[in-house]
Structure formats: C-alpha cells, structure tokens
Amino acid sequence: MNERETLLVAGIDVGSASVQAVLLEDRGPGGARILATCGERLRRRDPEDVAEAAFEQCLEAAGLTRAELGYVATTGEGECVPFRTGHFYGMTAHARGAIFLEPEARALIDVGALHARAVAMDERAKVLGYRMTSQCASGSGQFLENICRYLGVTIDEVGPLSLEADDPETCSAICAVLAETDVINMVSRQISKPNIIRGIHDSMAGRFAKLLRSLKVEGVVLVTGGLAADVGLVAALDDACREKKSPIEIRTHEHSALAGAIGAGIWGAFRARKLAGRGLSLAGSGGAR
C-alpha cells in the first residue's frame, strides 16, 4: 500500500450511554476527511446491536459497503463489537481525535456519562498524562441528566438555560447525592432553573479545572465527549480557568462528541498502513493499542 494511497476506515466508540460511529477517508500524511457520522443513545439496548446499527447507517449515508473498508477500529467498550478489525484504548483514541479536530490542542477534557478525564498530549497525539474524576458521579453526564429530570427540562435545554443565569446558586461539588438534595431544596425555595443549572455547571467546571491544573497543561484544551455540546458547561469551564488565571484556552468543535471514534479510525488507518508496509495482513491485528 502506497503511503499516500486513500484508505477508507471506520471508527466506533462504544460508551456507557451512547455509541458514536464515523467513516473516514484517510490519506496518510495528507490527512483525513469525514465521510459520515452517526450517534446513537443506548437506551438499555444491547451495545453490540446499537454499534452495528450506527455502523450500517454510516455506510448507507456514505454509499459504501463493508468490503470497501480497509479497517474497522473500535474504542471505549468497543471490544464487544464482533466485526472490528482492531481496538484502541480510549485515551489514545480521544487524543488523536482531539488533535484532528483542533491541531493546536495540547490537552482535552472528556466528559462522559459516568466520569470525566483530563488528558495531556503532544502534537503527535502521544498521551503524556491523565487525571480522572473520582467514583462519585457528580462530574458526569448521567448526574446532569438526573438533575434534568428534577427540573423538568431536556439535556439539550440545559446549556442555553445556564447562560441565562443572573445569580447562580452554589451546589455541592463533592457528592452527587448531596448535590441532588441541594437541587431539591433549591426548587422548594423557588430558585430559577437557570441559576440552579449554572450553579451545577460551576460545580462541575471547578472539578474539571482542577484536573487540568493538576496536569500542569497550558494552551488550548478541547472539550470532548457527550457534554461537549453543552454551551453552559463549556462557558463555566472557561470561567473557572480564567478565575484561577490558568494559561488555558477552552475550545469545542462541532464534532467533539466524535473525538474517540475519529481517533480510533485514524489509528486504525495508521496500523493498516504499517502492517501493509511490512507485508503483513490484518489478520490477528485486533489487540488493543
């Protein structure tokens, strides 16, 4: 395989609450181009079935067949996907996807359904270090969804509502149970939804900013994961970093939620080219990287 020969690949990121799939046209040193994307919530369905449905939807959108793909890469809990060619560790995949989406990024904060993690990387997407939130769910997407149910709003409404806050109410930053109790009390005291939500965002952002500072990162930080589209949370994180005068610039991208899938696909193409260069087949290349 010529190093610059176009290679069609897929990346599938199986998370605890959703599956993200992407098809890429990879040109090696010439970069990659997104052909199709799909995001599906699990909603108590079998992750394997959801992954296959998302994958098929991408193929249909791009007008491709499985046989035309040179590699199908998975990450997250993607080892459950039987048709994968190979699997890549989550931090490795997210780092590569973050660099693809935002070449200036030197760290990312991945906010998923169950936890958040900060990852420092270099310009080649090599992971230099990481920090994760504790087992408590108060810094996660699932926690925020629970709060949405209390307030009677959708997860898509949370971000815009947060930006309307004029007097945010402080919320517990340590324990999800205490935080939810705080919210119940706030509702009984008729605190406005925007002020409640912004208080929660501030609490989460404070934890994320602490993770980033512990890594001593500087420069551009890309928000990835399911909550990257929450404009209220992103604004709160930006404010939290500015308050501590951190040398950090928070950014997002329209495809931030796909960072893991994109990174897996790009690493899959890299692995396929390396094996081809050595005259080896893809058979048996399914080990994690």
pLDDT digits (tens, 9 = 90+) for 104-145: 999 999 998 778 899 999 999 999 999 987 655 555 777 888
Instruction: Say whether 28 sits in a helix, a strand or coil.
Output: helix
Are 200 and 105 within 8 A, CB to CB? no
What is the rounded end-to-end Cα distance, in angstroms, of the chain? 22
Most confident among 39-43, 69-73, 144-148, 182-186 (mean pLDDT) = 69-73
Write the pLDDT tens digit of every residue in 53-81: 999 999 999 999 999 999 999 999 988 89
Are 267 and 96 within 8 A, CB to CB? yes
The 10 Å CB-count burial string (b at 16+, else e) for 18-48 is bbbbbbbbbebeeebebbbbbbbebeeeebb
Across the range 181-208, mean pLDDT stands at: 90
Q: Say which residue, 104 or 177, is predicted with more confidence.
A: 104
Are 95 and 109 within 8 A, CB to CB? no
- In degrees, rounded to 5, the angle at the alpha carbon of residue 225 between the alpha carbons of residues 85 and 266 is 35
pTM for the whole structure:
0.90
Q: Which CATH superfamily is domain 103-252 in?
A: ATPase, nucleotide binding domain (3.30.420.40)
Write the pLDDT tens digit of every residue in 242-276: 877 778 999 999 999 999 999 999 999 999 999 88
Q: Say which residue, 78 or 95, is predicted with more confidence.
A: 95
Instruction: Find the helix packing angle between 155-163 and 141-151, rounded to 10°.
Output: 80
Distance from C-alpha of 252 to C-alpha of 234, rounded to nearest angstrom:
8
CA-only gyration radius of the chain, Å: 20
pLDDT value at residue 138: 54
Q: Say which residue, 89 or 133, is predicted with more confidence.
A: 89
Across the range 92-107, mean pLDDT stands at: 97
Beta strands in 90-206 (DSSP E): 105-111, 116-121, 127-132
User: What tokens were used for 200?
Assistant: 């929660």
Across the range 176-202, mean pLDDT stands at: 87
Q: Say which residue, 179 or 37, is predicted with more confidence.
A: 37
Task: Report the mean per-residue pLDDT for the chain.
Answer: 89
Question: Where is average pLDDT lowest: 20-24, 106-110, 123-127, 151-155?
Answer: 151-155
What's the fold here for domain 7-97+257-277? Nucleotidyltransferase; domain 5 (3.30.420)
Distance from C-alpha of 268 to C-alpha of 273, rounded to nearest angstrom:
9
Domain limits, CATH 3.30.420.40, in the chain:
7-97+257-277, 103-252
pLDDT value at residue 142: 78
Length of the chain: 289
Residue 286: pLDDT band by 50, 70, 90 thresholds?
low
Across the range 162-185, mean pLDDT stands at: 81
Across the range 75-91, mean pLDDT stands at: 93
Q: What percent of the chain has pLDDT over 70?
A: 91
DSSP 254: T
pLDDT value at residue 180: 77
pLDDT value at residue 68: 96
Q: What percent of the chain has pLDDT over 90?
A: 66
Residue 277: pLDDT band by 50, 70, 90 thresholds?
confident
Sign of CA dihedral 229, 227, 87, 45: negative
Burial-class residue 285 by CB neighbours within 10 Å (0-12, 13-18, 19+).
middle
